[in-house]
């Protein structure tokens, strides 16, 4: 007899684990399947796990601010102990450099004012007080190293930034996912690791019936949720769910650089997450007085779209480029001969906004296109997916009458249709992330 579940979740990354937890709290018996050896061992483990509240859209900002409160009160949210301990949220704050290119963040701060999100405007002196090792010359636009102008400052300067105090980072993203696994298991969830879904099975009427795994196991479930990260497009194709989608997802190779802070400067104590589109980089402190540096995907950099089952997992020239771009801002940063950091994949939608939706296949749902920008939102994304499953399985037409979901910590209701698979590309998106 086939194993049975009320909902089968493909993927046990941070959002997959949160979805399992939230569905179980609603009374569903869930089974999560992941090809990796443990929860959070895919791209989640490579995440910089930045918690931030600034976005270029009202909906994205409200969602992120809601998510902040779950990390702030992580132990209470989980409600269980984990034998490995709990992940730590370092509420270090985040500064975003104000430049002409980002409209001096006027749109972002107006959204924050509307939502009651605290922020401060820092002038150059305040930036240098926090970061005395920073050089605030302008290097806009970001360039590649083969450009003769690389490393040459222009006439201008970066003379202000916005500081968001309700921001920071999670020190161990894989541990955070394990915490969610344990919380879900306490509610009755089951997890299967080291197994791939090889088919998504349907009834004669075309409704989801369950899945088959690569070891021959069949699992019966009337609901299947694709939270497969960079494999999301392949899973959608397997499910026959592509027919009415106007937004697609693809796997994108990304590299994060691990550098040593300059002598005499305690980057870990300084603590800030920093977004700097003038040099096309973001960074955050790492334990041991190190710095993680990622790319904000400036226009001059080619994007390397890959097959998630066949891609080069080695560092490339992009590592060196990101290191030296950051050295423009922190001239004394230590760039060693050995490339250190992480190489992983994002699951990216056409407008870099995730898809949280049902599909044209009855019983099949998607929480995809989220890599790099949704770690911070995992708890509330899981709750929203659980509400969406309830709404649709209750006979409601989410396409014609989208679910309105209450964000319980902030009291704001959002139209979940914002994340539709059938939307037009949202031109308000920044088309980049702090991953």
Residue by residue, DSSP assigns 287-300 as TTTEEEEEE---TT
Give the CA diameter of the chain: 73
Say how many C-beta atoms besides its own lie within 10 A of residue 216's C-beta: 7
Q: What is the DSSP string of 95-160?
A: EEE--TTTGGGHHHHHHHHHHT---EEEEHHHHHHH-TT---B--PSP--TTSTTTT---S-B--E
pLDDT at 57: 87
- DSSP state, residue 325: H
Cβ pair 246, 405 in contact under 8 A: no
What does the alpha-carbon distance between residue 70 and residue 76 come to, in Å, rounded to a whole number?
9
Nearby residues of 9 by Cβ (< 8 Å), 6 or more positions away: 16, 19, 20, 23, 30, 31, 32, 33, 224, 225, 227
Pairing of strands 273-276, 355-358: unpaired
As its CATH architecture, domain 89-169+250-345 has 2-Layer Sandwich (3.30)
- What's the pLDDT score for residue 1? 59
27: left (phi over 0), alpha (psi -120 to 50) or beta: left
Selection from 166, 133, 129, 140 nearest residue 51 by Cα: 166
Domain covering 3-85+172-248+351-419 assigned CATH 3.50.50.60 in the classification: yes
Q: Which two tokens stand for residue 23?
A: 């569905």
DSSP-assigned states of every residue in 199-238: EEEE-TTS-EEEEEETTS-EEE-S-EEE--GGGHHHHHHH
Residue 41: half-sphere exposure toward Cβ, Cα within 13 Å: 9
Judge residue 431's burial from the number of C-beta atoms within 10 Å of its C-beta, 0-12 exposed, 13-18 middle, 19 or more buried: middle
What is the model's pLDDT at position 431?
62
> Which DSSP category does 377 fall into?
G
- Give CA–CA dist 8/221, Å, rounded: 6
pLDDT in tens, the chain (435 residues): 579 999 999 999 999 999 999 999 999 999 999 999 999 999 999 999 999 999 888 999 999 999 999 999 999 999 999 999 999 999 999 999 999 999 999 999 999 999 999 999 999 999 999 999 999 999 999 999 999 999 999 999 999 999 999 999 999 999 999 999 999 999 999 999 999 999 999 999 999 999 999 999 999 999 999 999 999 999 999 999 999 999 999 999 999 999 999 999 999 888 899 999 999 999 999 999 999 999 999 999 999 999 999 999 999 999 999 999 999 999 999 998 899 999 999 999 999 999 999 999 999 999 999 977 799 999 999 999 999 999 999 999 999 999 999 999 899 999 999 999 999 997 877 666 665
Domain ranges of the chain: 3-85+172-248+351-419, 89-169+250-345
Asked whether the bond before 153 is cis by omega within 30 degrees of 0, the reply is no
Q: Are residues 80 and 154 in contact, defined by beta-carbon separation less than 8 angstroms?
A: no
Edge to edge, the sheet with strand 89-90 lists 50-51, 168-170, 89-90
| N-to-C CA span, the chain | 43
C-alpha to C-alpha distance for 260 and 278, rounded to whole angstroms: 22
What letter does residue 361 receive in the DSSP assignment?
S
Q: Which pLDDT does position 211 carry in this prediction?
A: 98
366, containing H or E segment: strand 364-368
């Amino acid at each position: 007899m086939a194993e049975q579940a009320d909902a089968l979740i493909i993927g046990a990354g941070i959002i997959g684990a949160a979805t399992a937890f939230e569905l179980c709290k609603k009374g569903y018996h869930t089974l999560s399947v992941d090809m990796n050896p443990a929860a959070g061992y895919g791209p989640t483990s490579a995440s910089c796990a930045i918690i931030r509240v600034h976005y270029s859209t009202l909906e994205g900002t409200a969602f992120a601010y809601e998510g902040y409160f779950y990390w702030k009160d992580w132990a209470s949210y989980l409600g269980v102990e984990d034998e490995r301990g709990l992940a730590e949220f370092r509420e270090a704050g985040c500064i975003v450099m104000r430049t002409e290119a980002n409209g001096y963040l006027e749109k972002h701060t107006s959204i924050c004012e509307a939502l009651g999100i605290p922020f401060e405007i820092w002038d150059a002196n305040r930036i240098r007080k926090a970061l005395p090792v920073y050089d605030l010359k302008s290097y806009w636009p970001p360039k590649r190293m083969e450009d003769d102008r690389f490393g040459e400052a222009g006439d201008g300067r970066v003379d202000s930034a916005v500081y968001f105090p309700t921001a920071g980072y999670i020190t161990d993203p894989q541990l955070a996912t394990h915490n969610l696994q344990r919380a879900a298991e306490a509610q009755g969830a089951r997890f299967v690791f080291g197994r791939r879904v090889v088919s998504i099975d349907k009834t004669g009427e075309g409704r989801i019936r369950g899945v088959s795994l690569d070891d021959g196991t069949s699992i019966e479930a009337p609901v299947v949720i694709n939270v497969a990260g960079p494999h999301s497009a392949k899973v959608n194709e397997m499910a026959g769910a592509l027919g009415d989608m106007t937004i697609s997802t693809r796997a994108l190779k990304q590299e994060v650089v691990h550098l040593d802070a300059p002598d005499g400067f305690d980057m870990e104590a300084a603590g800030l997450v920093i977004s700097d589109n003038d040099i096309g980089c973001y960074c955050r402190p790492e334990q041991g007085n190190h710095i993680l540096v990622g790319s904000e995907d400036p226009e001059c950099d080619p994007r390397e779209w890959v097959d998630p089952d066949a891609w080069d997992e080695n560092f490339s020239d992009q590592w060196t480029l990101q290191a030296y771009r950051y050295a423009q801002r922190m001239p004394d940063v230590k760039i060693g001969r050995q490339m250190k950091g992480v190489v992983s994949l994002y699951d990216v939608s056409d407008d870099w906004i995730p898809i949280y939706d049902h599909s044209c296949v009855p019983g099949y749902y998607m929480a995809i296109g989220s890599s790099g920008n949704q770690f911070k939102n995992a708890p509330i994304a899981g709750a929203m997916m659980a509400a969406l499953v309830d709404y649709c399985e209750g006979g409601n037409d989410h396409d014609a009458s989208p679910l309105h979901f209450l964000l319980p910590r902030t009291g704001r209701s959002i139209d979940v249709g914002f994340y539709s698979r059938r939307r037009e590309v949202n031109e308000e998106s920044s088309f980049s992330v702090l991953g």
